[in-house]
Amino acid sequence: MAGNDLMKKAVEVKQRFENKWLSIQGVNAIGIGMIGDQIAIIISVDSPAENIQAEIPAQVEGVPIRIKITGKLKAL
């Protein structure tokens, strides 16, 4: 999939699954970014909990999903 097509697909997937993923305990934020030279959905989590790994796949519709352990996020 070309870069622009993958970005469009990533936005669509994020919009469809964002509420579901944010409802999982420990999930802090969901965004779209780059992992190396590849567009991916990046999910920030408190800790490497097994329930998160079980509920969020490694990819959805060809869009890679990466889980990033950030700890609890705080607004300033």
Position 33 in a domain:
yes
* Cα separation, 40 vs 72, whole angstroms: 21
55 within some domain: yes
Q: What six digits make up the tokens of 42?
A: 């990046």
Report if residue 74 sits inside a domain.
no
pLDDT score for 53: 82
> 70: which 2 tokens?
């950030």
Cα four-point dihedral sign 2, 54, 17, 41: negative
Instruction: For 23-63, write each residue's pLDDT tens digit.
Output: 999 999 999 999 899 999 999 999 887 778 889 999 999 99
Indicate the number of domains in the chain.
1
25: containing domain: 3-69
Cα first-last separation, the chain: 38
- Tell whether 22 is covered by a domain: yes
User: Which tens digits make up the pLDDT trace of 60-75?
Assistant: 999 999 999 988 777 7
Q: How far apart are CA 32 and CA 22, in angstroms?
A: 14
Q: Residue 39's domain is classified under what CATH number? A: 3.30.300
